[in-house]
């Protein structure tokens, strides 16, 4: 599903200023996002920064001609379609251009219809080529490895997720990833980026819950020198750092309302305004957002903007919790053990059936992240080549239910909530080996909030 607001990027390379101006005006009016370069060298510098769907390139130019540009750009253009133009062309020149990677060739002087026809043909061909290429690659990878990017799963629910993500990777549309903490939202975002058209461009991750509200705007959009005390030079923001690539807005449900309207403008206008600047900057950034919150519920309590939700919710990927796909646990365990053997210099062969039964019957409130931490602990402490039940001190079934019931011995809801909250924090800190950042993710609260609660409950690390 292509974003209806997305304009395909096109680069014109021609040494004649009048030709660049005429083609730019004509193609902008037709709905393309157009840049222009005066020769092949300038064109090479521009394709280093921006991913173009189409390039219209003159053949005869000073400094670097069109054929030399094609040769130099071969490793950088990827799936970009190049159409050559020349008033000096011959059949031999056209054939040479095709051999060097050009898709089509039009002779000057040409009519506007000829340019549009060449682009329309190229769009149809390239759309089919991209679709076939990406689908073929993703089907092969998913079928062979039960994976997408670095995510693993052979359950029906995860195979559906991988299939949807493979389709999302082919386009520049905005993606919203929803799921509980620890389900792998960032891994899915990385998979969509690195399996897609922007793979060679930056992927910039941003945890919206970890940046103080007072710093958020300058971090996202940058600032001009003198914008505030201490701003002694211009600074790029994270959106500008991601120009040409992807920005991953993790836990976007934590974003303050004052910033939500600014993110909405970026999605609508593809432009940013650094703090202290009077001008806006155009950017080419794909947005992938993720949240463990129910944004529709957040809208009801006026904690999240409805218009931003609709802008983000173009294509939604819903990650199932691990407890809903227990058939993936053996595969994940095998993967984690293989990785940890190499990392820790161990030689664990596997997990005993009785131990695997313990793992499969656990509820996994921390999802895959909790499983990974539990496996790492077991690999570290085990003296045997096969992991046994005693390596996994997990509470399952009736024991867990009975223990939870014993906590609730009084009548005060507030008192029992405090007891439960303290136990959950201690459990999360144990599961993450005392890593407070990871624990805050498991608990679905901000890092400052966790620190405050640790102090209030006098929890010893």
Beta-strand ranges (E) seen in 2-146 are 9-13, 33-37, 54-58, 81-86, 104-107
In angstroms, the CA 374 to CA 393 distance is 9
Q: Which one, of 124, 132, 83, lies nearest residue 107 by Cα?
A: 83
Fold entry, domain 9-129: Rossmann fold (3.40.50)
**Domain 146-320 sits in CATH 3.40.50.300:** yes
* Tokens representing residue 269 in the block: 């206008």
Q: What is the model's pLDDT at position 130? A: 64
The predicted model scores a pTM of 0.60
Q: Contact, 328 vs 154, CB < 8 A?
A: yes
Q: Which one, of 89, 83, 39, lies nearest residue 65 by Cα?
A: 39
* Tokens representing residue 336 in the block: 């984690």
Please count the CA atoms within 13 angstroms of the CA of 451 that sit on its side-chain side.
Answer: 5
Cα 164 to Cα 16, 158, 159, 203, 250, distances in angstroms? 45, 10, 9, 20, 19
Same CATH topology for 9-129 and 323-394: the answer is no
Please list the ranges in the chain whose pLDDT falls under 70: 1-6, 78, 88-91, 127-147, 395-416, 461
In angstroms, the CA 261 to CA 273 distance is 13
Q: Contact, 183 vs 320, CB < 8 A?
A: yes
Tens of pLDDT along 240-249? 999 999 999 9
Cα 52 to Cα 114, 163, 432, 443, distances in angstroms? 20, 26, 43, 42
In angstroms, the CA 196 to CA 133 distance is 11
Q: What is the model's pLDDT at position 21? A: 93
Q: Is the four-CA dihedral 210, 211, 216, 218 of positive or negative sign? A: negative
CATH number of the domain located at residue range(s) 398-461 in this protein: 1.10.10.60
Q: What is the model's pLDDT at position 233? A: 87
Q: Where are the domains of the chain?
A: 9-129, 146-320, 323-394, 398-461
**Domain 323-394 sits in CATH 2.60.120.10:** no
Q: What is the model's pLDDT at position 452? A: 82
As to burial, measured by CB atoms within 10 angstroms (0-12 exposed, 13-18 middle, 19+ buried), residue 242 is buried
Cis peptide before 45 (omega within 30 of 0): no
């Amino acid at each position: 599903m292509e974003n209806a607001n997305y304009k395909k990027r096109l680069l014109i390379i021609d040494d004649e200023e009048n030709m660049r101006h005429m083609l730019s005006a004509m193609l902008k009016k037709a709905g393309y996002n157009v840049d222009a370069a005066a020769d092949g060298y300038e064109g090479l510098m521009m394709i280093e920064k921006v991913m173009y769907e189409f390039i219209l390139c003159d053949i005869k130019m000073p400094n670097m001609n069109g054929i030399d540009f094609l040769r130099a750009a071969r490793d950088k253009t990827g799936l970009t379609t190049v159409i050559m133009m020349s008033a000096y062309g011959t059949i031999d020149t056209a054939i040479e251009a095709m051999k060097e990677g050009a898709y089509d060739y039009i002779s000057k002087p040409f009519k506007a219809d000829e340019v549009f026809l060449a682009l329309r043909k190229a769009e149809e061909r390239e759309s089919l080529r991209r679709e076939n290429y990406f689908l073929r690659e993703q089907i092969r990878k998913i079928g062979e490895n039960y994976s997408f990017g670095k995510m693993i799963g052979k359950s029906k629910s995860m195979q559906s997720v991988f299939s949807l993500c493979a389709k999302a990777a082919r386009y520049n549309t905005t993606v919203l990833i929803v799921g509980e903490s620890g389900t792998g939202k960032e891994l899915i975002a990385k998979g969509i980026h690195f399996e897609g058209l922007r793979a060679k461009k930056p992927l910039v991750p941003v945890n919206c819950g970890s940046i103080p509200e007072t710093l958020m705007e300058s971090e996202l959009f940058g600032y001009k020198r003198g914008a505030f005390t201490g701003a002694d030079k211009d600074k790029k923001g994270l959106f500008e750092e991601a120009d040409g690539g992807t920005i991953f807005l993790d836990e976007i449900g934590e974003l303050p309302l004052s910033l939500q309207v600014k993110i909405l403008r970026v999605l609508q206008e593809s432009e940013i305004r650094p703090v202290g600047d009077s001008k806006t900057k155009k950017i080419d950034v794909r947005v992938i957002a993720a949240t463990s919150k129910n944004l529709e519920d957040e809208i009801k309590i006026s904690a999240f903007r409805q218009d931003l939700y609709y802008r983000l919710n173009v294509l939604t990927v819903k990650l199932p919790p691990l407890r809903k796909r227990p058939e993936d646990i053996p595969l994940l365990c095998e993967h984690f053990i293989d990785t940890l053997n190499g990392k820790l210099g161990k030689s664990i062969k596997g997990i005993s059936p009785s131990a695997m039964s313990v793992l499969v019957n656990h509820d996994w409130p921390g999802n895959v992240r909790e499983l990974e931490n539990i496996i790492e602990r077991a690999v570290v402490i085990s003296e045997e080549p096969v992991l046994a039940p005693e390596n996994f001190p997990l509470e399952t079934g009736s024991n867990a239910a009975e223990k939870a019931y014993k906590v609730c011995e009084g009548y005060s809801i507030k008192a029992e909530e405090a007891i439960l909250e303290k136990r959950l924090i201690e459990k999360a800190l144990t599961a993450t080996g005392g890593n407070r950042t990871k624990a805050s993710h498991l608990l679905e609260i901000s890092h400052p909030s966790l620190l405050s609660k640790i102090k209030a409950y006098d929890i010893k690390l």
